[in-house]
Amino acid sequence: MVINTVTQLAVYSLIVGFIVAFVVITGFAYTTLLERKLLARLQHRVGPNRAGYIPLPTRGGKERKLLGGFMQPAADAVKLFFKEDMTPVMVDKWTYFLAPIITVIPAIFILAVIPWAGFIPAITPAGRDYFAIAPGINVGVLFILAITSISVYGVVLAGWSSNSKYAILGGIRASAQMISYELAMGLTVLVPVMLANSMDLGVIVEGQRGMWYVFLQPIAALVFWIAALAELQRAPFDLLEAEQELSAGFTVEYSSMRFGMFFMAEYMKMIIFCALFAVFFLGGYRGPFVDQVPALGFVYTALKVILGLCVMIWIRASLPRLRYDQLMSFGWKVLLPLSVVNFIIVAVMIVLVEEGVLGF
């Protein structure tokens, strides 16, 4: 019986993992379209509006289009696939080829523990309280922190293996940036863990049944969001892509689909970090009538992820890029002390409440 249960859970995880990974990879492609469309709207210019549109009958002599630019991600993928794949002569070939893979794989692994909806009798395995690839992992937060740290290796190895001074400097700077902001992020993630008294992401979501943690801990939510932007190397922390700095940073010697894999990892992580922000601070799949109709959890999760993506794009369109010394100073002198102080205050308050000192 135990063997059958384990086998069923393994088969369930494989099937659900394939479906979720397919949706997120497809979502990455259309996140690029969302960014280009929204940036164009915010900056009063024309975005992608040709590839894949459906012509409609003219009205008043004016051409009408439906879904203009809908096939732009597919056109970009074809363009990348057929670009010349150049490999510099003096690279360390095995490391050079493996670095993009090491960057993409952690982004896919994080999907395993994210709860996408509550308990749905038809598709949730027996004994599990929510829908995820691997539901019920009681060290889910620790798993996320460990996996996100692995992506640093892909960045460093990509720069080192390229045998280029620009790439090496870009890799070093990227790794320093990611490690610096991971410290603040790790301390901030412990806040919802303490509030829910669990590292299981499903329990953290259920702990927000009464009130989302973004209202209880706005400072932690803000620090997590800023650290996520720096971890993703998004504006205003996109120093690696600064033309006046190091051109394309650690990806300067990559082309064709190997460059596309770094591109894919960035946008997949955007989706994943927005999902994590929703889980930690926005109630995850919780929403009106979700207890009566559990499938609504998918809708609420998707809406919260799309909202997070739009905010990231809005920040890119609005804020100027920081200097590298400002970036590091902000991480070490502002975010890290703020997250430490906030962590200590939350821990002390929880202990005082549990001991009945505050009378709550």
The answer, yes or no, to whether residue 1 has pLDDT greater than 50, is: no
Residue 55, Cβ neighbours under 10 Å: how many? 10
Backbone angles phi, psi at 54, to 5 degrees: -105, 115
The answer, yes or no, to whether residue 300 has pLDDT greater than 80, is: yes
- How many Å separate Cα 33 from the centre of its chain? 17
Residue 242: predicted pLDDT: 62
- End-to-end alpha carbon distance in the chain: 46
Mean pLDDT across the chain: 88
Report the range out of 37-46, 120-129, 333-342 with the highest average pLDDT.
Answer: 333-342
pLDDT tens readout for residues 151-160: 889 999 999 9
User: Once rounded to an integer, what is the mean pLDDT over residues 125-139?
Assistant: 86
The answer, yes or no, to whether residue 2 has pLDDT greater than 50, is: no
Percentage of the chain with pLDDT > 70?
Answer: 94
Where exactly are the structural domains of the chain?
85-354
Residue 325, Cβ neighbours under 10 Å: how many? 8
User: Once rounded to an integer, what is the mean pLDDT over residues 166-185?
Assistant: 89
> Which residues, in sequence order, are CB contacts of 61 under 8 Å at separation 6+?
none
- Of 164, 183, 325, 178, whose CA–CA distance to 248 is shortest? 164
- Of 113, 52, 102, whose CA–CA distance to 78 is shortest? 52
3-state helix, strand, coil in the chain (%, to 5): 65, 5, 30
What is the crossing angle of helices 296-318 and 2-42, to 10°? 40
Percentage of the chain with pLDDT > 90?
Answer: 53
pLDDT tens readout for residues 59-104: 666 766 777 788 888 888 888 888 888 888 889 999 999 999 999 9
Choose between 10 and 97: higher pLDDT: 97
What's this model's pTM, rounded to 2 decimal places?
Answer: 0.93
Residue 3: predicted pLDDT: 47
